[in-house]
Amino acid sequence: MKHVKNVDEYIALSPKEVQDKLKELREIIKSAAPKAQEDISHGMPYYYYKGRLVYFGLSEKHIGFYIPTPIIEEHKSELKDYETTTVTIRFPLDKRLPIMLIKKLVKARINKINELDKKKIT
């Protein structure tokens, strides 16, 4: 994909058959993190809330959902049906997005960021 300026353009340049899924993921993230800023980083949609919150990127057979550690490890049992690494969850394009799980992960990341922020202040 060519260099994109914003998330709208990222989605518009994606194949038509996955655009609705990308829009849905975007809305899930925004509803779980309404104070997060949306941008493009490393060629992917990126969400910032007092630091790195999450990224997502389209691949041939999945959407990569990138979330800093230790969130995936802490939710490993809930993610057993997905291919994961320490910072990546792969959501297959042929399956529905796990809306509630994604919201839970985003909120868990926000909580981690807020905990770290409090430690800096004290």
> Confidence class of residue 120 from pLDDT cuts 50, 70 and 90?
confident
Residue 66 forms part of a structural domain: yes
Residue 100: per-residue pLDDT: 98
CATH code of the domain in which 92 resides: 3.90.1150.200
CA dist list (Å): 6 to 23, 32, 53 = 13, 20, 17
| d(C-alpha 67, C-alpha 87), whole Å | 5
Q: Is the pLDDT of residue 1 over 60?
A: no
Evaluate if pTM is beyond 0.85: yes
Q: What's the total number of domains in the chain? A: 1
Q: Is the pLDDT of residue 122 over 70?
A: no
Place of tokens 């926000």: 110
Task: Name the average pLDDT for the chain.
Answer: 95
Structure confidence by residue, pLDDT tens digits, 49-93: 999 999 999 999 999 999 999 999 999 999 999 999 999 999 999
- Domain limits for position 77: 7-121
- In the chain, what percentage of residues exceed pLDDT 90? 92
